[in-house]
Structure 1
Amino acid sequence: MTISPKILDRWGRPINRAELRQEVAAPTFGGVRSPISGYPADGLNPLRLASILREADMGDPVRYLELAETIEERDLHYLGVLGTRKRSVSQIEITVKPGGESALDEELATMVRDWLQRDELQDELFNILDAVGKGYSFTEIVWDTSAGQWRPERLEFRDPRWFRFDRVGLSKPMMLDELGQEAPLPAYKFIYNHMGAKSGLPLRSGLARAAAWAWMFKAFTQRDWAIFTQTYGQPLRVGKFGPGSSETDRDTLFRAVANIAGDCAAIIPESMQIDFVETGNLGSSTEHYERRSDWLDKQVSKAVLGQTATTDAETGGLGSGKENREVQEDIERADCKALAAVLNRDLVQPWVILERGPQARYPQIVISRPEAEDLKAFSAAIGGLIDRGLTVRAQEVRDKFGLATPKAGDEILRPTAKSAPQLTLEAGDEGEARPERGVKYPFDTHEPNSGATAHLQTKGPSAARSAPLDPPAEVAARLETEAAPAMAAMLGQVEAMLEAAADLAEFREMVLAGFPEIDNSQLTEVMAQAFAASFAAGRAMVEEEDGG
């Protein structure tokens, strides 16, 4: 009898398909998975915070996780930078690469691509990235088997307070069962995301551990600031009473003064009137509170985003602007790769195995932001390479710039004269000297003393002449263009000798022996045409000067 091998997850646990068809970590009213949370941040002080963190280090993370949740709710700066980091990743377009080149590989990749089009995916990824703050997160996969298939119906975020880590190494995730006992996670049922801000145990790798200290000290500063503002930011009320006032009158006056606002009240004898004394230089007295709060916020920004330039408006100085944005992009790329690896391990591979069985290769989710290409640098590089003989398809260049291929009847932009336009020669006047060997000049000449000027002409239906240009410069530009193929052919023969030679001495002998055989007829032809064109250009300039 043949025994089929069991399918095991990454922790060595076998798959229980019946268990996969039900939710195993849903909240329960009054049970061990209660959604009601405590508030350990109330009255937080250094001793209490240290006690909360020590509990987490020993495997009881409940109060630490509740504190991390409270910090996100009460610290607007931490909420903002943490949300920025998570949303920058959850909104990036996801692509899927087939595991191979077979039809089955492409079919499996298409299956994953279609599922990724769900509208709920962005919120689900945002919840999975809760691990950025707390150090880890758990997401239950709710499988849909209604039609006999296996397909993830939704990804349900589960409160990390309902999970623990094994007592031996504090690294293997466990879940609380209905009796509150620690039990292994069912195979292929959870996406376990560990994205630590530092190396070490998951319980000690969350950003919330570092942010908790900054938040506590900032809370002290804000409390002192509020007390100072309430005490000294309001005017001092002084009640005055006359010498003949009774004790009852004085009590009445004091109650009136005290009930105006706050506790800054006093009474003095003098005709029972109330004066408001304004506090001077209040702004300079409160600056240190603001500076301390801002400094703590900057430390949190550095911890979460790696920099402060994108969250705190500062101008000038080193380490700002583009450099800070590059730091944030480095963190974003790392988060993208980590999230993609988790989804491939805990979602894509289990899904394929449940649906089609184990495979040699599996589709790969890729989360990355397209790199912006420097088209200016590309233009400069490709132009020089083409001038040196590199053949490039025009459509590839158009695709780089997002340009469509021109169609019949489209208006075409032509290069300017300074961009080396295509040149033709108009026939000279009757009786004028003609160039030898059929050379075509890049300009016209006219009768002497007629104000003749060398003109360039671009090819086109209108054959209209452009503005006067410098003939020698145009001849030089034309020579460079025309001589390039001839020079390339000659250099090709020389390069062949260089490749065949064993050393420089042998190469020298090969060049000396083979020089008469190198074909230079094409270059000679081009040079002859250049000399003729130069002669005609010089003649045109002389005639123009004489005519002037």
Structure 2
Amino acid sequence: MALRPQLLDRWGRPVDRSALVEERTATTIGSVRSPVSGYPADGLNPIRLAQILREADHGNPIRYLELAEQIEERDPHYLGVLSTRKRSVSQIDISVEAASDSAEDVARADMVREWLKRDELTDDLFDILDAVGKGYSFTLIGWDVSEGQWMPATLDRQDPRWFRFERGDLMTPVKITDNGAEAPLDPFRYIFATIRAKSGLHLRSGLARVAAWGWMFKAFTLRDWSIFTQTYGQPLRLGKWHQGASEREKDLLFQAVANIAGDCAAIIPAGMEIAFIESKTVGASADLYEKRADWFDRQISKAVLGQTATTDAIAGGHAVGKEHRKVQEDIERADCKALAAILNRDLIRPWMDLEFGPSKNYPRLKIERPEAEDLVALSSALEKLVPLGLEVEASEIRDRFHLSEPKPGAKILVPPAMKPADPPPSDPNAPPATDPRERNGVIERISAKIKRGPASSGGDVALQAEGASTGENSGGSPEAALAARMQVEAAPGIDLMVDQISIMLERAGSLEEFRGMLLAAFPSLHAEGLAQTMAMGLMVADLAGRASAEGDDA
């Protein structure tokens, strides 16, 4: 019995196949994998935020990861632009390239294509792309071996708080065991995704670090705006008491003035007075808070999407929006390439190694949005180039137009020229119609003659070399000499038309199709040269006839 080869992961660690199917410790409150999260955003200020980021830089990212979660929960704008970036990639169709054209490699690629049809894939990719905000993410691969095969059954998002990075380099990921110790990741068990907003450590490459500062200052602005609105958004209530009012009466007046803000109703003793004083600068002051909050939102849009036109209404209209959309597409393409590389490295290669053993080449996932193609221009080009002899595979054109191969017996659309025309009205003086079998026989003879080429159609044309004497080729007859010369002069034009017709015959699948191709291409046949030669021949014949007539008269 042949021994299976020893598999190694990306870090060179041996793979334990039995460990890949072991159940993971469930998430429980009070354990290392606790679902309960802290709330470091409560009361956040610049000093606390700096401390949180420094902790992450030294290898303790718990509070930073919890803060990143809270920012997504509390800032609708950040949540919106970050989700847009992740969903635009997670919904793009994934294609698979086989390692080679061999039957085995094609079968492996088909197996991957079949697996990609799973309904949960979009949500799985969205979770993997959590690395866009935090800088990295972990996904547990659940392997299915129920039928003796290795197949990725589930892709489960893992809380990044359950992982750390080795203290020596702060780059190699490790997991936190049940007893709180750090241990290497199980080979072939995790998808470790990193999508960096900047170069450097994974802990410092996420967008959440930038968003944290913007969100904190915007939170200050929104808090001040709320206080301002409550204080100055309503007119100032001023209570006046009469001379000699007691403390109880003053307290009663203050209570009434205070209650007006919420209850909008109060009673006071006679003789007391309440005045409402409106602020004249409320509108101008409130605009400052709104502009400041909008400015922070635009900075977050630039950091996440690279532009602002698709998220904020700005001057410039449609043209500016199109230019900004190109910037977003550049970021989308970069995310697609990064995600495809991650899946090829941490999912496809381990899967193929477990199922078939190590190999030099593997199927490759490609995540890319198809480029828009001008199919009208393509149709116009084909209409002109195909009759000239351009050879194009029908299957390739069908793929470009996203059309399937016609099935046997299916109703097929044909050009109007190929459809049977209505019979013309009967004419009693018209000659009898040609029998279809006779017409088909004529077409077959013409087709055979064209395929044989001008050289095999007889010796007449071949003998009519330019410069041959009239007596040698025509026996001295002027009519025969003129006809022989016409054959020589018309040969190039006829050859050009014959070449076009020969190409049509080779492409046509039936005589009806050949007829349709002839009718469709008739206006564009190269007949100018032949027409000029015939005109010259007619003119020479006319002059020759006139000269002969004058000679007879003489």
1:59 maps to 2:59: yes
**Residues 40-59 of structure 1 mapped to structure 2, 5 A cutoff:** 40-59=40-59
Residue 117 to residue 391, structure 1, CA distance change in 2 (3 Å): closer
Shift in CA distance, 16/396, structure 1 to aligned 2, threshold 3 Å = closer
Alignment partners' CA distance in 1, 2:169 and 2:362: 31
Distance 1:377 1:353, change over 3 A: same
Which residue does 1:102 correspond to in 2?
102
Q: What pairs up with 1:332-347 in 2 under 5 angstroms? A: 332-347=332-347
What's the CA shift for 1:394? 7.2
- Identity over the aligned pairs, expressed in percent? 60
Is 1:302 the counterpart of 2:302 in the alignment?
Answer: yes
Separation (CA, whole Å) in 1 of partners of 2:326 and 2:274: 60
State TM-score, norm by structure 2: 0.71
Range that drifts further, 160-169 or 97-106: 97-106
Question: CA 1:530/1:138 → structure 2, altered by over 3 Å: closer, same or farther?
Answer: farther
CA contact (8 A) 2:493 2:529 kept: no
Match of 1:369 in 2: 369
Residues 387 and 484 in structure 1, CA contact (< 8 A), matched pair in contact too = no
Please say if residues 132 and 207 of structure 1, whose CA atoms lie closer than 8 Å, have aligned partners that are also in contact: yes
Higher helix share goes to which structure? 2
- Which amino acid letter does the alignment assign opposite residue 530 of structure 2? E
Q: How does 1:495-506 map to 2 (within 5 A)?
A: none
Letter in 2 for 1:115: W
Which structure 2 residues correspond to residues 369-408 of structure 1 after superposition, within 5 A?
369-379=369-379, 381-382=381-382, 385=385, 390-392=390-392, 400-401=400-401
Distance in 2 separating the partners of 1:75 and 1:57: 24
Structure 2 match to 1:439: none
From 530, 534, 550, give the equivalent of 1:525: 530
For 2:139, what is the secondary structure of its paired residue? strand
Distance in 2 (CA, whole Å) between partners of 1:272 and 1:262 is 21
Equivalent position of 2:29 in the other structure: 29
**Contact 2:252–2:268 (CA<8 Å) still a contact in 1?**
no
**In the alignment, which residue of structure 2 is the partner of 1:312?**
312
CA spacing shift, 1:44–1:488, aligned 2, 3 Å: farther
1:230: which partner in 2? 230
CA distance in 2, matches of 1:484, 1:276: 103
> Are the counterparts in 2 of residues 487 and 523 from structure 1 also a CA contact under 8 Å?
no
Q: Are positions 1:219 and 2:210 aligned together?
A: no
- What's the offset of the Cα at 1:369? 1.3
Which amino acid is the alignment partner of residue 50 of structure 2? A
Map Cα deviations across residues 412-441 of structure 1 (whole Å, 9 max, x no partner): 568xxxxxxxxxxxxxxxxxxxxxxxxxxx
Q: Secondary structure at the match of 1:321?
A: helix
The aligned amino acid for 1:50 is A
Contact 1:240 1:269 in 2 (8 A): no
Task: Give 3-state SS (helix, strand or coil) of 2:153's partner.
Answer: strand
The CA deviation at 1:396 is: 5.9
1:287 corresponds to which letter in structure 2?
A: D
* Secondary structure in 2 matching 1:157: strand
- Map of 1:441 onto structure 2: none
Aligned pairs for 1:240-319 within 5 A? 240-243=240-243, 245-261=245-261, 271-316=271-316
- In the TM superposition, residue 328 of structure 1 has moved relative to its aligned partner by 0.9
Partner of 1:498: none
What does residue range 434-513 of structure 1 map to in structure 2 within 5 Å? 486=496
- Aligned counterparts of 2:270 and 2:537: Cα–Cα separation in 1: 115
Contact 1:235–1:278 (8 Å) recurs in 2: yes
Q: Which runs of 5+ in 2 are unaligned?
A: 418-491, 500-525, 540-554
Contact 2:131 2:194 in 1 (8 A): yes
Who is 1:15 aligned against? 15
1:374-432: CA deviation from partner (whole Å, max 9, x where unpaired): 23443454456458664556786576456899998979568xxxxxxxxxxxxxxxxxx
Per-residue Cα deviation, 1:356-386 (whole angstroms, up to 9, x for no partner): 2222322211211111102344345445645
Range moving further from structure 2, 197-206 or 29-38: 29-38
Hey, what's the Cα distance between the residues in 2 that align with 1:252 and 1:323? Answer: 64
SS at match of 2:276: strand
- The 1:530–1:204 alpha-carbon spacing in structure 2 relative to 1, beyond 3 Å, is farther
Distance 1:159 1:386, change over 3 A: same
Task: Provide Cα deviations, 1:45-76, integer angstroms capped at 9, x if missing partner.
Answer: 11111111111111111111111111000011
Q: Distance in 2 between matches of 1:307 and 1:27?
A: 39
SS in 2 for 1:320: helix
Specify the alignment match of 1:445 in structure 2: none
Q: Deviations over 1:147-171 (max 9, x none)?
A: 3322222111111011011111111
Q: Does 1:71 align with 2:76?
A: no
Q: Shift of the alpha carbon at 1:246? A: 3.3
Structure 2 Cα separation of the partners of residues 530 and 299 of structure 1: 77
Return the alpha-carbon distance in structure 2 between the equivalents of residues 484 and 35 of structure 1. 85
Aligned pair 1:166/2:166, yes or no? yes
Task: Return 25-34 or 366-375, whichever deviates more.
Answer: 25-34
Greater alpha carbon shift after TM alignment, 525-534 vs 106-115: 525-534
Residue 105 of structure 1: how far off its partner (Å): 1.4
Counterparts in 2 of 1:415-434, with a 5 A limit?
none
1:159 and 1:485 map into 2 onto residues whose CA distance is 76
2:27·2:35 contact (CA, 8 Å) conserved in 1? yes
The residue that corresponds to 1:151 in the other structure is 151
Q: Within 2, Cα distance between the matches of 1:42 and 1:213?
A: 14
**C-alpha distance in 2, partners of 1:274/1:367?**
69
Q: CA deviation at 1:241?
A: 3.2
Equivalent residue number for residue 440 of structure 2: none
